[in-house]
Chains A and B, each alone.
Chain A
């Protein structure tokens, strides 16, 4: 079931018996819509909400669309959330930009998707590779022809089901050049105090692969520093036994882009070395505030930090915002939610610390009490930081070797590393 921002359902699909359907659509959904309107913003609505009339609404918000499932019996809400997540991803992959308009335009496709993904209330598959085999994606060409001639194109290509032992890979794939690319993308989640020390520090990452290989290749990937990985979740194609026994990843890859593994680096193996040092000092005199930020490279193994960005949300009552910076560029938006954005293209390991100074004044709350009923912040207290360090791996995990078994051709291999800021916050 999909709800739009305006709180009116766009699509509902039911899988259970009449009574529950009636109850769900007539009682629970409107109650949920009222509940959504009652909270300050939809993001603050509890994801699992028990309707007073019985039944439980589980919802997620992605973009402007809310995906909601009504649960009438004892089930796992996480299963519902994961399913909704799968649905949202599948829809996004099929129709691109998801909005009320595009959902309505691609109505039949989405309907077909939903009926393939869930059967009598049980999730069947959310793997888009499998779904592609079952439901044809809408294409511009077919739509044009349909509109012009009034004849459907569907009959030409009958999707078929792949039921081999490797449902993620079809038989008889051919590529003229065989290529396999690996991207190790790591994210640093951290909360940094004003003095630059990390209050919490966490590294997680994904091994993203792009495979264009012919036939049924069997791959074997060896990692260096594999013991640094604390919790690894693999794509279903990976043989877990091999990993448990030898710490090597053996798999038959799907065709195209896929996420081979996502991992979490263990805290013991990390020494909290932030690649970017950020500091802040805030001072206030009366209603005039000043915040000063300093940014310099940390431990990056001598690599440059690129696309550094710093976003400071200012209190809603801030005005007269003045900004100076020693490097990069800044923009100030003084709308209802004023904020300062600061971007620096690159910071080298030996560059001097870049500075940003933000001055702003705050209207006294009494003067604008009528404007906002909620208590407003009187000073900025956090900044969000983004950066990426190409070629650097924060968890020190490396792909040591990548072998191909069972197929005899040569493949072109490539491995890239990048460490990005995940949820990287500075508070002061």
Chain B
């Protein structure tokens, strides 16, 4: 607003205009005061008179404004003058003033907890829990919760079972934001017995039908947390059934909301894997979904697929594999192999889908398919090798080491299936030194040895050539060592070599994408909150815990208006990360400078 200029010099002049009748100007003056009060704490006292007078104005809007601004000033000097009008406003006839006053108590508490306690302000907020106006009740809840958070040692408030019923009444009547505050408080409460838990769940159930997604998600969090307290199976089943439609509805809102909902659904599904199996179609990706939504949907699709809907899902995944985004296609093809590995009944279809995809002859698709097919074959030994000859036709499309390694592994494993195997392997051995990746080298040696063990006559020259190249020319010690081991093994005892090389492989377990049980438990409790979206425990991003971990809050050397300027911001950011080595040095020049609330 001030275009970054420091206008604290005008403080006294602005103060003179404070008793204007114009509400808009009054608001702007108050805003100015909030900005600059900290630099001129002595002069703020001059404004107190007007504040106190305004706090008794006939217009409730002005009364509330005065109280709110005095709280926001955040200056110790004002505190003594604030308590009196504040206690009056807490008993004001107008609920708008009362609810503003209730919030103001939290600000006073933040400044000086003892003052708030001694003047009975906190008690008044506790009493406000039984206010006749629901807006006041919900604000009292958020105010108390905030005070709890500020200083847990003061033990400001614990939800008692006698106030539960009042909150349950209020939650159904107040505005959405109040509902969230009350639901949050209830979700953190530990019910004293089963009956109470059932009652609370029953009463908040209608909240699932709210247009505000946050209300819905907080209610879901509450229900999932209370699950351990409710024992009646029929009730639990009913609660889960009620949860489904609102979650589905969230997915037809804006992409940002979808994203948060999807991240949370991902967690819920790890607790209740069958919850949404019927609704698989709502997770189908749209052409114009943002990429972050697509990834989440893909993850959930694989998670919720069941024996019955694998066919639908595989068809759907095939469509995704035709899209443009390489990374997304990669994940879609990987998902196909996951589905195939998880359900034996779907494996055939998965292989079929993958063969169809390879026919598109798009480089990256072919490569991803190779990896995916190899994974499925590895999981079902001796079942689907008929596909290998088909894949051999697409040998020219491969460039990525992982795809090549997978392909060569298949060659060795199913050498009986491939007619011209000697020439293919020979080509690969010829170009051995052109390969750079060790995984390809290892695969070539491995396959050559397998081929030799299975068909000694045909493979003899090949395997010697491969091992010779590997031991003599390769720089990678891993590759050389492997080649030596094979060589010695085969020259020492060909039968032993056979037993080792063609040993039964251990079955591959499907790749688990689940969170650890401990983290899952924590995240279920924090459902709908930041940590559940990031799927990390809260301590990794919350300022306060970072502060404890030694990351300093303040980074100095900052101008006041550089928020938009990355060149200025960059050193500050790194300073904070490095441990803020320059805090002391620049502090003298910037510490006194006011932090602007608004900057252009």
Interface on A for B, CB 8 Å cutoff?
Answer: 7-14, 17-23, 25-27, 29-31, 33-34, 37, 43-48, 50-56, 59-60, 71-79, 81-83, 85, 104, 107-108, 111-112, 115, 119-127, 134, 136, 152, 154-155, 158-161, 163, 167, 189, 191, 193, 199-202, 204, 230-236, 240, 244, 259, 262, 264, 266-267, 375-377, 381-382, 384, 422-423, 425, 427
Which B residues lie within 8 Å of A155 (CB)? 21-23
Most buried by A among B181, B324, B526, B562: B324
Q: Say yes or no: B256 contacts A11, CB within 8 Å.
A: no
The reply to whether the CB of B209 lies closer than 8 angstroms to some CB of chain A is yes
What 0/1 pattern do residues 92 to 136 of B give for CB contact below 8 A with A? Answer: 001110011001001100100000000000000000000001010
Which B residues lie within 8 Å of A123 (CB)? 177, 180
The 5 closest A-B pairs by CB, nearest first: A30-B569, A8-B564, A231-B245, A233-B211, A47-B256
Most buried by A among B209, B218, B595: B209
Give bound CA distance, A9 to B212, whole Å. 27
Which B residues lie within 8 Å of A51 (CB)? 541
Q: How many residues of B contact A (CB 8 A)?
A: 118
Q: Which B residues between 503 and 561 are near A, CB-CB below 8 angstroms?
A: 526, 528-531, 533-534, 536, 538, 540-544, 546, 551, 553-555, 558
Q: Say yes or no: B61 contacts A161, CB within 8 Å.
A: yes
Q: Say yes or no: B292 contacts A46, CB within 8 Å.
A: yes
Q: Say yes or no: A82 contacts B544, CB within 8 Å.
A: no
Q: A30-B569, A30-B573 are in contact. List 6 more A-B contacts (CB 8 A).
A: A30-B563, A71-B530, A73-B542, A111-B598, A159-B61, A202-B252
Give bound CA distance, A29 to B565, whole Å. 10
Q: Say yes or no: B538 contacts A74, CB within 8 Å.
A: yes
Which A residues lie within 8 Å of B103 (CB)? 119-120, 122
The reply to whether the CB of B290 lies closer than 8 angstroms to some CB of chain A is yes
Q: Which of B315-323, B431-439, B451-459, B470-478 contacts A (4 or more CB under 8 A)?
A: B315-323
Which B residues lie within 8 Å of A112 (CB)? 24, 27
Q: Say yes or no: B600 contacts A17, CB within 8 Å.
A: no
Which A residues lie within 8 Å of B110 (CB)? 17
Question: Helix, strand, loop or mixed for chain B's interface?
Answer: helix
The reply to whether the CB of B217 lies closer than 8 angstroms to some CB of chain A is yes
Known: A73-B543, A199-B316. A13 touches B284 (CB 8 A): no
What 0/1 pattern do residues 76 to 103 of B give for CB contact below 8 A with A? Answer: 0000000000000000001110011001
Most buried by A among B38, B177, B536: B177
Contact sample, A vs B, 26 pairs, CB 8 Å cutoff: A22-B554, A44-B290, A48-B534, A50-B540, A52-B577, A53-B573, A56-B541, A74-B530, A74-B531, A76-B180, A81-B256, A81-B260, A107-B1, A112-B27, A120-B106, A120-B146, A160-B59, A189-B252, A234-B209, A235-B211, A236-B175, A240-B209, A244-B206, A423-B288, A425-B286, A427-B319
Q: Say yes or no: A33 contacts B569, CB within 8 Å.
A: yes
Contact of B61 among A158, A201, A422 (CB under 8 A): A158
Q: Say yes or no: B324 contacts A152, CB within 8 Å.
A: no
Q: Say yes or no: A50 contacts B541, CB within 8 Å.
A: yes
Give bound CA distance, A251 to B177, whole Å. 21
Q: Say yes or no: A19 contacts B541, CB within 8 Å.
A: no
Which A residues lie within 8 Å of B538 (CB)? 74
What 0/1 pattern do residues 140 to 160 of B give for CB contact below 8 A with A? Answer: 001000100100000000000
Q: Say yes or no: A54 contacts B541, CB within 8 Å.
A: yes
B595 to chain A, nearest CB (A): 6
B592 to chain A, nearest CB (A): 13
Which A residues lie within 8 Å of B213 (CB)? 78, 81-82
Residue in chain B with minimal CB distance to A232: B209
B388 to chain A, nearest CB (A): 28
Residue in chain A with minimal CB distance to B279: A267
Residue in chain B with minimal CB distance to A37: B566
Q: Say yes or no: A77 contacts B177, CB within 8 Å.
A: no
Which A residues lie within 8 Å of B59 (CB)? 158, 160
Contact of B553 among A19, A52, A127, A200 (CB under 8 A): A19
Which B residues lie within 8 Å of A231 (CB)? 208-209, 245-246, 248-249
Known: A9-B563, A12-B598, A30-B569. A161 touches B94 (CB 8 A): yes
Which A residues lie within 8 Å of B252 (CB)? 189, 202, 204, 264, 422
Q: Say yes or no: B292 contacts A44, CB within 8 Å.
A: yes
Q: Say yes or no: B74 contacts A17, CB within 8 Å.
A: yes
Which A residues lie within 8 Å of B319 (CB)? 193, 199, 427
Contact of A77 among B107, B533, B551 (CB under 8 A): B533
Contact of B576 among A43, A45, A53, A82 (CB under 8 A): A53
The reply to whether the CB of B226 lies closer than 8 angstroms to some CB of chain A is no
A111 to chain B, nearest CB (A): 7
The reply to whether the CB of B395 lies closer than 8 angstroms to some CB of chain A is no
Q: Say yes or no: B106 contacts A27, CB within 8 Å.
A: no
The reply to whether the CB of B28 lies closer than 8 angstroms to some CB of chain A is yes
A198 to chain B, nearest CB (A): 9
Known: A9-B563, A107-B1, A240-B206. A78 touches B260 (CB 8 A): yes
The reply to whether the CB of B311 lies closer than 8 angstroms to some CB of chain A is no
Which B residues lie within 8 Å of A18 (CB)? 38, 74, 595
Contact of A375 among B1, B61, B326 (CB under 8 A): B326
The reply to whether the CB of B31 lies closer than 8 angstroms to some CB of chain A is yes
Which B residues lie within 8 Å of A31 (CB)? 569, 573
Give bound CA distance, A98 to B356, whole Å. 49
Most buried by B among A18, A50, A54, A112: A54
Q: Say yes or no: A163 contacts B286, CB within 8 Å.
A: no
Interface on B for A, CB 8 Å cutoff?
Answer: 1, 21-25, 27-28, 31, 38, 59-61, 64, 68, 71-72, 74, 94-96, 99-100, 103, 106-107, 110, 133, 135, 139, 142, 146, 149, 172, 175-177, 180-181, 184, 206, 208-214, 217-218, 245-246, 248-249, 252, 254-257, 259-261, 263, 278-279, 281-282, 284, 286-288, 290-292, 315-316, 319, 322-324, 326, 526, 528-531, 533-534, 536, 538, 540-544, 546, 551, 553-555, 558, 562-566, 568-570, 572-573, 576-577, 595, 597-600
Contact of B282 among A75, A121, A202 (CB under 8 A): A202
Give bound CA distance, A343 to B255, whole Å. 27
Most buried by A among B64, B110, B212, B565: B212
Q: Say yes or no: A78 contacts B261, CB within 8 Å.
A: yes
Contact of B248 among A20, A22, A73, A264 (CB under 8 A): A264
Which A residues lie within 8 Å of B135 (CB)? 167
Give bound CA distance, A46 to B61, whole Å. 39
Which A residues lie within 8 Å of B175 (CB)? 125, 127, 167, 236
Residue in chain A with minimal CB distance to B315: A199
Q: Say yes or no: B597 contacts A12, CB within 8 Å.
A: yes
A267 to chain B, nearest CB (A): 8
Residue in chain B with minimal CB distance to A261: B211
Give bound CA distance, A264 to B491, whole Å. 72
Residue in chain A with minimal CB distance to B325: A375
Q: Say yes or no: A119 contacts B68, CB within 8 Å.
A: yes
Which A residues lie within 8 Å of B316 (CB)? 199
Which B residues lie within 8 Å of A83 (CB)? 177
A293 to chain B, nearest CB (A): 15
Which B residues lie within 8 Å of A267 (CB)? 278-279
Give bound CA distance, A127 to B174, whole Å. 12
Give bound CA distance, A72 to B96, whole Å. 28
Give bound CA distance, A7 to B255, whole Å. 20
Which A residues lie within 8 Å of B533 (CB)? 48, 77
B410 to chain A, nearest CB (A): 27
Most buried by A among B61, B72, B322: B61
Give bound CA distance, A117 to B173, whole Å. 19
Q: Say yes or no: A21 contacts B529, CB within 8 Å.
A: no
Give bound CA distance, A230 to B208, whole Å. 12
Which B residues lie within 8 Å of A37 (CB)? 566
Q: Say yes or no: A163 contacts B542, CB within 8 Å.
A: no
Known: A233-B209, A425-B287. A22 touches B23 (CB 8 A): no
B573 to chain A, nearest CB (A): 5
A133 to chain B, nearest CB (A): 9
Which A residues lie within 8 Å of B528 (CB)? 76-78
Q: Say yes or no: A122 contacts B553, CB within 8 Å.
A: no
